[in-house]
Structure 1
Amino acid sequence: MTTFYLTRHGETIWHADHRYAGNSDVPLTRHGLGQAAALGAWAVDARLDAIVASPLSRARRSAAPSVETTGLSLRIDDRLVEIDFGDGEGLTPAELAERFPDEWAAFGEAPASNPLPGGESGRAGIARALPVFDEFVEEFPEGRVLIVGHATLIRLLFCELAGMDPDGYRDLLPVLGNCSVTTIVYPWATESRAAHHPRIRLLGFDVPPSRAAI
C-alpha cells in the first residue's frame, strides 16, 4: 500500500476572483507563493519518495518548494492536468449562468457527467488520471508520494476511489484549500460489503500543511 498526499496548487489570480481555471495556465498570486512555501516546509519531514505535478505552471510552481526542501526531482504527468472547462474558462459562476444557462444548470445537476460547453467531462478526467495511482503503487509499493494538482480533478478522483458517485463531488466536497493536504492509503483492502466499497483509507482531508500528519 502506498501513501498519497493530494495537494491543490496555491492561489492564482483567477481563483482570487472566483473564475474557473481549468487547463488555462494562470500564475500564482503572492499569497499562492506563500502557500507553496508552507507546503515545502511540511515536505521537509514527510519522508517522500516522489513528487509529481500537473504540467500547468501553477502546479509546478506550487511543487517547487517541496522539491527544493526534499532534494527530489519533480516529475510532470500530463494526465494530472485540471479538467478542461471549455468556454467556461476564465468565467465566474454568475457569468456562466448568464451566458450558458442550460449548460450551467445541467453541470450543476451532474457535474461529472455534463461538461461545460466545449469542455471535458469529469468522468473523462477520472479515466485519464486514475492510472497514475496504480503506476506509483507499482514503483513504490510501500512509499509516500506527493501529487500537486487541481481542485476539481482531486475531488473527482477522491470520490471515485472512495466508492462515491463523482457527480456528487461539488455537494460533498465544496471546498479544497490551496496547498492543503489530503492523505490516503491506496489500494486499501477493505472488509466492507457495500456495493461501492472504498479502495482507499482516508487519513486526513483538506488539512493545512502546518497541521498535516507526516
Structure 2
Amino acid sequence: MTTFYVARHGETVWHADHRYAGNSDVALTRHGLGQAASLGAWAADAGLDAIVTSTLSRAMRSAAPSVETTGLPLRTDERLVEIDFGVAEGLSPEEIIERYPDEWAAFARAPATNPFPQGESGRAGIARALPVFDELVAEFPDGRVLIVAHATLFRLLWCELAGMDPDGYRDLLPVLGNCHITTIVYPWAVESIAAHPNHPRMRLLGFDVPPDRAGN
C-alpha cells in the first residue's frame, strides 16, 4: 500500500472572486506562493519518494518549493489537471447563474454527472485521474508520494474511493484549503471489494490539514 499526501495548489488570482479556474492556466498570488513555501517546508522531512503534479502552472509552481527542499525531480501528468468547466471557465457562481441558469441548476443537482456546456463531467475526470494513482502504487508499492493538483478533482476522487456517490462531493466536501494536505493509504481493504463493491478503497489518515500542523 502506498501513502499519498495530496495537496491542492496555492491561492490564485481568481480566488477572491471564486472564479471557476478549471483547466485555465491561472497564476498564483503572493499569498499562494507563501502557501507553497509552507508545503515545501513540510516536505523537507516527509520522506517522500516522488512528487507529481498536474501540468497546469499553478500546481507545478505550488510544488516547486517541495522539489527544492527534497531534491526530488518534478513529475507532471496531464491526467491530473482540473475538471474542464467549459463555458463556466473564468466566471463566478453569480455570473454563471445569470448567463446559464438552467445549466447551473442541472450542475447543482448532480455536479459529477451534469457538466457545463463544452465542459467535462466529474465522472470523466475520475476515470482519467484514478489510473495515475494505480500506476504510482505499482511503482512505489510501499512508498510515500506527494501529489499537487486541484480541489474539484480531488473531492471527486475522495468520494469515489470512499464508496460514495461523486454527485455529493460539493455537499460532503465543500472546500479544500490551498496547500493543505490530505493523507490517504491506497489501495485499502482490496480483499473485500469483490464482496462489497461500495467498500472504501482508501484509508483516510488526515484531511485538509495545514502543512505546519501535518505530521510525517
TM-score w.r.t. length of structure 1: 0.98
- Match of 1:39, SS state, is helix
Q: Which residue of 1 aligns with 2:215?
A: 213
| Structure 2: distance between partners of 1:162 and 1:183 | 13
- Match of 1:12, SS state, is coil
What is the number of residues matched between the two proteins?
214
- Match of 2:213, SS state, is coil
Paired amino acid for 1:99? R
> Could you list the per-position Cα deviations for residues 147-170 of structure 1 after superposition, in whole angstroms to 9, with x for gaps in the alignment?
000000000011111111100000
> Could you list the per-position Cα deviations for residues 6-34 of structure 1 after superposition, in whole angstroms to 9, with x for gaps in the alignment?
10000000112110000000100000000
Paired amino acid for 2:201? R
Q: Which residue of 1 aligns with 2:202?
A: 200
Return the offset for 1:189.
Answer: 1.2
Return the offset for 1:59.
Answer: 0.2
> Could you list the per-position Cα deviations for residues 79-121 of structure 1 after superposition, in whole angstroms to 9, with x for gaps in the alignment?
0000000110010000000100000000000000000111000
Paired amino acid for 1:208? P
Farther-moved stretch of structure 1 (187-196 vs 83-92)? 187-196
Task: Give the CA RMSD over aligned residues.
Answer: 1.1
Paired amino acid for 2:81? V
| Structure 1: distance between partners of 2:196 and 2:210 | 31
How is 1:71-82 mapped onto 2 (pairs within 5 angstroms)? 71-82=71-82
Q: Which residue of 2 aligns with 1:29?
A: 29
- Match of 1:17, SS state, is coil
| Structure 2: distance between partners of 1:102 and 1:37 | 41
| Structure 2: distance between partners of 1:100 and 1:92 | 12
> Could you list the per-position Cα deviations for residues 48-96 of structure 1 after superposition, in whole angstroms to 9, with x for gaps in the alignment?
0000000000000000000000000000000000000011001000000
Q: Which residue of 2 aligns with 1:137?
A: 137
Q: Which residue of 2 aligns with 1:107?
A: 107
Paired amino acid for 2:213? R
Return the offset for 1:194.
Answer: 5.2
Return the offset for 1:43.
Answer: 0.1
Unaligned runs of 5+ in 2: none
How is 1:31-180 mapped onto 2 (pairs within 5 angstroms)? 31-180=31-180
Q: Which stretches of structure 1, 4 residues or longer, exceed 2 Å deviation after superposition?
A: 190-195
Structure 2 residue 12 is the aligned partner of structure 1 residue 12: yes
| Structure 1: distance between partners of 2:62 and 2:69 | 13
| Structure 1: distance between partners of 2:196 and 2:75 | 36
Paired amino acid for 1:80? L
